[in-house]
Structure 1
Amino acid sequence: MADGNSRPRTRQRPLQNLSSRWDATNINNWTTTQFQEELLKLSIRVPANIGKATLRKLYLENVSRNPVVRERRENDSSQNSHHDEHPNSSTEAPTVSQTEVISNIGTSAHTEVSDQTVQPAQTHINSGSESLRNNSNMAASVNNQVISGMLNTMNSMQQTVMGLQQTVLRLMADKTGNTGNNINDTGNSLDTAYAAMRSQTVPATQNTDFEVSQSGTQCPRACNQSTTTQRCFVELEDVVQQLWTNAVAPSTRSTYRSAFHMYVQFLLMSCAISSAYTSDIPVTEDYLIYFVAHCVSRLKLSFSTIKLYLCGIKFICLESNIAYPDVTNLSRLKALLNGVKRMQLPSCKLRHPITFDILKKVCVYFHRTESFRNLMLETVCTVAFFGFLRCGEFTIKDSFDPTTNLCVSDLSVLESCVLLNLKISKTDPFRKGITIKLFPTSNIICPFSICCKYLKAHCSLPFSAKQPLFVNSDGNALTRTEFISELKHALKCIGCNADVYNGHSFRIGAATTAAAVHMEDHLIKVLGRWSSDAYCRYIRTPETVLREAQKSMTTI
């Protein structure tokens, strides 16, 4: 028992002089807060979530560049070496084991090591403790590469975050209008950036990290106004899309989209682009010139079609917000189009007019057999002639659309005339509609009487007001192809060359007949709904008239 009581209590001796032995100047014993304070003295601001190991490495890399701090560290090192030469001194500071330092480095990215967890080493280390220290040094050398890689990765992440911080600050400065303020790279950190984002303002100086400028007091109001504006724009997006949809006629839009699709296919075949994303389609004068050459040499398109395709490409670019070259700078393209026009021979296809005499023969042919189909064809030919109609105004192309095509409700019979309401036409791009009046002629070919007869027969069939006006006996709307086929067959039967006539021959024939009876020019323009002198191109002057005109020149 006496021997047990005389045993020295070595476990409590180091704790009794802990405050006197602890070396606060040794960086191995510093806490995260101390590292941050020392870095702040070096004018280095770091985020609060950086670990202790990274702070230690950052401090060691920058402290060597500061001569004042380096001199202070050298003095501290000389004092530490003096204490190492006198181990019996009461102020000898304990050292932290290498194993504990490595552990702190490995875990410092997530947690902070409190200074109470550091255990001072014993002053009377025996040979076994010395062996343990050597093993710790070996472990440190083994993990050196891993730790260096982690530190390099964290350093790279820190640079990326600092770059993101400056980007955020610039964006916030642009949003608040403070573009003239210089952003201090060393005076702002992630903390100040986050605070700026929360307060919708940008810190101006280094000393006022969370100071809000005078203009920042109006930021909530500006933010609310911005949110309201964005909400208003979202609500108006549907209206904008609807306006774009109605900017051109559906048929024109279809042609424009086909033209742009053909242009994209040309770029893909030429390897000018790798994908067909609309926002990445380049439109330059050079590409347009090569596209025109492609249309001429490979697609064998006419000048008018190529010009229409160029208009379509321009419209789709405007609608999709794609950069399109300035029209005033497309001099080479315009010269190239002139070359296309001069190189291509003019079309020798001449459309002959269906005059009143030919119309009378066609109507007599349809009147031979009493049937609803023949009555419908006779009515169509008569209305097309006296109404100066285009073929697309009374027939359909593919499918019937009650909003654009003629319906039963579009034909109204009054006491003195028949009213035909055209919803759309070539000279009515805004779809205001136009009403054509067809009066009695007191002739065998009368638009008023034939329309009344047709409506009476049409009402005997099941119909509604929104059904097509000109239909077959099965109720299907009259198509353009079907009408041209029936017309050519009737022209052959009456002895005419059907190849020189088409659906537009009725409009040409009406203008030619009006000029033959010496109708005044302004009346021809009104009846044909012409706004210019383009009607003159529709008038076909017979050779007999030219012969008589030349004879009259010799009677003076």
Structure 2
Amino acid sequence: MPPKRGQKSLGPPANKRRRLANPTRESTDIQTVTAVQPQPSAIDYDKLALAIIKHSTPVNEVENSVQQEVPSTGRPMNTANRESTATANTTNQTSAILGPSSVQPEDQTANVSAAGLNALLDSVFTGSFPGSSTPQPHTDQSTAQTFSHLTPISKKLLASALSTSSAMAYRRSWNLLLGWKPQLSLPISVVDVCNFIGQLFIDNYSPSTIFSHISAISYVHKIFNLPDPTQAFVTKKILKGCQAIGQRKDTRLPITAPILQKLLSALEHTVSQYPTRLLLRAVFLLAFHAFLRLGEITVKSLKSKHQVLQRSDVTFNQSSLSEVQIIMRDYKTNKHKSPLIISIQAGPDSAYCPVKALHNYLQLFQHTSGPLFQTLDGLPITYSMITSHLRSAIQFIGLSTEHFKGHSFRIGAATHAASLGFSDQVIQKLGRWNSDAFKHYIRIQSFKL
């Protein structure tokens, strides 16, 4: 009861005086009633976060302020807690710039280790996904369960969703990525993807080629249900920058009929071995008359020898050699896996007739199976071998190797067909184009008056 007016207070009650006289007892009593005692003033975390976002307070000053304040638990924050708070703040700032998938905590293990990445990529692009009894690279639990429970038909359907040529292109993209940074592991960080794009741009890759390489990275992450670094905001903006300042005009020129004749004549001077000359004549003439990509008749590795044109898919009209029939099974736009039959008629001039050139080549090499174009030892002809001889012949006739390349046969075929009056629909079918992209290849000079 408070003292009456005019009456002095006699001080605290006797029990409180005894506690003040005994500090040890005071400490003990406070510990036992902590739950009902008022807490020390807590940190205003809203203000602290605002200061970090505005970059007005350096990290070391934030740490000092945390040291001076007492958390709501009534105990000072230890060093480990301060370091984790500072790390979390830094991570939040970086995530705000690069996106949430760009920053991985140091103690978070990668879903797929670098050691098993190549084996895993081979499985993805060949369709032979690891089963429950197959040793697998380190994957997260959900990914491992998904593929261990796929039935054989599910695996086959998944593999069929990607064409053979696309699978090969995607694998080359990953080889390029791992050649740039061998120790990568899944998931790839946004920072690594962005820097990879920058390196491709420095190496003079066209924007469309860069997009293709990045699509390969996206495909693998989506297959394994991992965060896709190619969808981050900063990745998309860098790709857009490639288009803005890296768009290059296609400077490849067509190998027209007159140029083709000069190249065939040049082989007599640039190639000393007769069998090689016979082979190159057949390749050059067939590539032109059948609108072929060199990748459809030459290999870049021994693994792809079954994806090129095979000897068994070529048949002649044996009575008069007036025609050769070619069955195209694996080509870029064959999404439905349906074979396409191409019939090439014999030309009036035997020196430049594709049917006669192909027949002469097969008569000498005499192989009945495997790829159509092989060495005398039975090895498939490589892309690099053909392009090397082509460059030598182009230089010999005085043309630029920067403008005339392996794809110039296909460009020349479209240009030649247009000059002869073939319709767009016929040219599109002859070249196996799904779109009107061939129109970019048709280059006809103006008439000389």
CA separation in 1, counterparts of 2:359 and 2:283? 13
Cα 1:356/1:325, change in 2 over 3 Å: closer
CA separation in 2, counterparts of 1:423 and 1:353? 26
The alignment of Structure 1 onto Structure 2 pairs a total of residues equal to: 294
CA separation in 2, counterparts of 1:297 and 1:366? 38
Tell me how far 1:324 sits from its aligned partner: 3.9
Structure 2 residue identity aligned to 1:247: A
Tell me how far 1:315 sits from its aligned partner: 1.1
Does 1:423 pair with 2:329?
yes
Cα 1:260/1:323, change in 2 over 3 Å: farther
- 1:50-69 aligned at under 5 Å gives the runs none
Deviations 1:106-143 (A, max 9, x none): xxxxxxxxxxxxxxxxxxxxxxxxxxxxxxxxxxxxxx
Tell me how far 1:358 sits from its aligned partner: 1.2
SS of equivalent residue, structure 1 residue 352: coil
1:295 match: 197
- 1:97-496 aligned at under 5 Å gives the runs 236-248=150-162, 249=164, 250-255=167-172, 257-258=174-175, 276=185, 278=186, 281=187, 287=190, 291-292=193-194, 295-296=197-198, 300=202, 302=205, 303-324=207-228, 333-344=235-246, 346-347=247-248, 350-366=251-267, 371-399=274-302, 401-414=304-317, 416-444=322-350, 445-459=352-366, 463-466=367-370, 468-496=371-399
SS of equivalent residue, structure 2 residue 202: coil
**Structure 2 residue ranges without an equivalent (≥5):** 1-144
**8 Å Cα contact 1:471/1:477 also seen in 2:** yes
**8 Å Cα contact 1:257/1:316 also seen in 2:** no
Cα 1:341/1:383, change in 2 over 3 Å: same
CA separation in 2, counterparts of 1:436 and 1:298? 37
Tell me how far 1:405 sits from its aligned partner: 1.9
Tell me how far 1:522 sits from its aligned partner: 2.0
Tell me how far 1:282 sits from its aligned partner: 7.3
**8 Å Cα contact 1:353/1:505 also seen in 2:** yes
Tell me how far 1:426 sits from its aligned partner: 1.2
Cα 1:254/1:357, change in 2 over 3 Å: same
**8 Å Cα contact 2:325/2:343 also seen in 1:** yes
CA separation in 2, counterparts of 1:236 and 1:291? 30
Structure 1 residue identity aligned to 2:208: S
SS of equivalent residue, structure 1 residue 353: coil
TM-score of the two chains, using structure 2 as the length reference: 0.57
CA separation in 2, counterparts of 1:500 and 1:354? 10
SS of equivalent residue, structure 1 residue 500: coil
SS of equivalent residue, structure 1 residue 465: coil
Cα 1:515/1:332, change in 2 over 3 Å: same
RMSD value, Cα: 3.5
Cα 1:532/1:465, change in 2 over 3 Å: same
Deviations 1:394-441 (A, max 9, x none): 111121645312222121112552111222111113433322211112
Structure 2 residue identity aligned to 1:251: M
Tell me how far 1:506 sits from its aligned partner: 0.4
Cα 1:484/1:317, change in 2 over 3 Å: same
**8 Å Cα contact 2:289/2:413 also seen in 1:** yes
**8 Å Cα contact 1:488/1:499 also seen in 2:** no
Cα 1:520/1:326, change in 2 over 3 Å: closer
Cα 1:489/1:318, change in 2 over 3 Å: same
TM-score of the two chains, using structure 1 as the length reference: 0.47
**8 Å Cα contact 2:327/2:342 also seen in 1:** yes
Cα 1:509/1:314, change in 2 over 3 Å: same
CA separation in 1, counterparts of 2:196 and 2:384? 31
Deviations 1:6-39 (A, max 9, x none): xxxxxxxxxxxxxxxxxxxxxxxxxxxxxxxxxx
Tell me how far 1:530 sits from its aligned partner: 1.8
Cα 1:236/1:537, change in 2 over 3 Å: same
The answer to which structure, 1 or 2, has the higher relative contact order (CA under 8 A, 6+ apart) is 2
1:222 match: none
Cα 1:338/1:498, change in 2 over 3 Å: closer
CA separation in 2, counterparts of 1:398 and 1:427? 21
**8 Å Cα contact 1:395/1:480 also seen in 2:** yes
Cα 1:298/1:317, change in 2 over 3 Å: closer
Cα 1:306/1:265, change in 2 over 3 Å: farther
CA separation in 2, counterparts of 1:292 and 1:235? 34
Structure 1 residue identity aligned to 2:240: N
Tell me how far 1:373 sits from its aligned partner: 1.7
**8 Å Cα contact 1:263/1:291 also seen in 2:** no
**Structure 1 residue ranges without an equivalent (≥5):** 1-230, 269-275, 549-556
Cα 1:438/1:367, change in 2 over 3 Å: farther
Structure 1 residue identity aligned to 2:357: I
Tell me how far 1:516 sits from its aligned partner: 2.0
Cα 1:262/1:380, change in 2 over 3 Å: closer
